[in-house]
Amino acid sequence: MNTEAFAIDRETSFDRCAAKTGTWLQDFPSHNSFADYLRLIDELADASRYRVMPGKEFYNAPADPERITVFLRHDIDNDPFTALRMAHAEAERGLHGTYYVLPTGVYYGFFRNGKYYRYACMDWIYQAIASLGHEIGVHNDLLTLMLEYDIDPASFQAQELRYYKEIGITVRGVCSHGSRFNALGLNNTWMYSEFGRKGNFVYGGKTYGYGELTLPQFGFLYEPYLFARDMSKEHRLSDIGPDRGSKLPSCLKAFEPGIKIMLLTHPIHWKDQHPKNGNES
């Protein structure tokens, strides 16, 4: 496998990358509006009832007997522009969460001649989100990088994290992405030994191993699906589904203080339209 695949593209302009991403987003209508998202975080902004935090705080935070402790999780997937709008709106309300950046997202980069190039022009978005007090994490899609592009997962992950530090972002959390390889019976969580699934998979005539990496190997403090195993399904809320997002505020209101909740949102489910310059807030 290629151990030197990670590379930086410094030539592509932000406008070009934004246009490419915007074209992709037009094919995916949102289930909710951004106004719906504002109603959701207006509910969370009640500090007397909710204690909202990013994953790096939530994973070892004790429950608050007087309030509901909420892990505000955002899987950016392919919509960094709505993610930035969400980050601004949350910060205005004193809320902070985690934004997981997907290495295989259309906005992240591209593969060419054995190299996986990351768009440097998009870095300002991650930096802006972090500057608002939010956590930036990695949305693990190592299975795709390994099977589709024959990239060594350990090398890529280490090099990506090194680059994050170079642009002023320290990453302490990783959260696995549900890739197309789930349909083949695989899961990105299996890349890490903490999930107890070590084995091999034959793809494209080549055998690949999984379950050999560890979270501490990369300085990761947590993976949400580890602590999610100890949470009931009722305490794991998500916007996945055609009417799920609009129901989240009422779901939150139904909970009693003293519990911990993981609230998962995907920016693409709350977008109005693609902001052409990425600065809409």
What CA–CA distances, in Å, run from 119 to 8, 116, 236?
A: 6, 10, 33
Write the DSSP assignment of 141-172 as a string of letters: -HHHHHHHH-B-HHHHHHHHHHHHHHTT----
With respect to residue 278, please indicate whether it lies within any of the assigned structural domains.
Answer: no
With respect to residue 92, please indicate whether it lies within any of the assigned structural domains.
Answer: yes
With respect to residue 1, please indicate whether it lies within any of the assigned structural domains.
Answer: no
Closest among 254, 243, 280, 261 to 32, alpha carbons compared = 243
pLDDT: which is higher, 36 or 242: 36
Domain count, the chain: 1
With respect to residue 73, please indicate whether it lies within any of the assigned structural domains.
Answer: yes
Instruction: Provide the pLDDT for residue 267.
Output: 97
With respect to residue 279, please indicate whether it lies within any of the assigned structural domains.
Answer: no
Instruction: Provide the pLDDT for residue 280.
Output: 43
Q: With cut-offs at 50, 70 and 90, classify the pLDDT of residue 76.
A: very high
Instruction: Provide the pLDDT for residue 242.
Output: 61
- pLDDT of 273 > 90? The answer is no
With respect to residue 281, please indicate whether it lies within any of the assigned structural domains.
Answer: no
Range of the structural domain that residue 184 is part of: 6-269
With respect to residue 280, please indicate whether it lies within any of the assigned structural domains.
Answer: no
With respect to residue 276, please indicate whether it lies within any of the assigned structural domains.
Answer: no
- pLDDT of 234 > 80? The answer is no
Q: What is the rounded average pLDDT of the residues 261-278? A: 80
Distance CA 220, CA 93 (A): 28
* Interhelix angle 123-131/80-92, nearest 10 degrees: 10
